[in-house]
Amino acid sequence: MAQLLLLNKPFNVLCQFTDNEGRKTLADYVNTPNVYPAGRLDYDSEGLVLLTDSGALQARIADPKNKMVKTYWVQVEGSPDDNQLDALRKGVTLSDGPTRPAKVAIIEAPDIWDRSPPIRQRANDFTTWLQIEISEGRNRQVRRMTAHIGHPTLRLVRVAIGPWSLDGIKQPGTSHAVEVHLPKTMKTKETHPRRTQTRNGAGSHRKSNRPPKRKS
């Protein structure tokens, strides 16, 4: 059995355990030792992050070849029309190539926590909430997709990765753990989870097996 921690990552928190610039990291919210992120979520995005102590499970979740669907609630500027939404559904061409077709729908404003700080919005500005499902994990992909159709993202919340979701984890910074049964073929290939690599070369590893201390 592999351990899987489901965390509701707050806004402006790095998806790693260390930072040389004093920003908040996963270490401020995760006390469980020997777990590492399976994939990433941008500093300025919120929502579900999965952490595991299993290298096989980490690869299964994070490897784009496995096409695990990720679901986002996205608040965008203005109101995209049908043609613009259809473009996202068919796939748009970004600077790093065309995207796979996405599932996109307009939704009511979700009943979720207030962001702190809130988005910058003038009183008369109109915004729209979208639910977007993709099976890729490119850098800032959803934000680039909505910008491509002329509706920049104001707020982005990841609510599900494959079968795992934020159900029961409604407050930022909270988490719960589950056990995941690994098929025998995955067990034979079991490795330690890999630390994520940041742009400045620093990884998300910890210096010891003890839980990280919370900042006071």
Q: CA distances (Å), 122 to each of 43, 111, 115, 119, in order?
A: 24, 21, 16, 10
> Nearest Cα to 159, choosing from 13, 54, 14, 46?
46
> Nearest Cα to 157, choosing from 197, 98, 111?
111
Spell out the alpha helix ranges (H) of the chain: 55-62, 82-90, 141-148, 184-188
Set 19, 28, 42, 86: catalytic member: 42
44 counts as catalytic: no
Alpha carbon distance 147, 128 (integer Å)? 14
Within a 13 Å sphere around the CA of 155, how many CA atoms are in the beta-carbon half?
Answer: 23
DSSP 56-110: HHHHHHH-GGG---EEEEEEEES---HHHHHHHHH--EETTEEPPP-EEEEEPPP
Rg of the chain on CA atoms, in Å: 18
Give the active site residues. Answer: 42
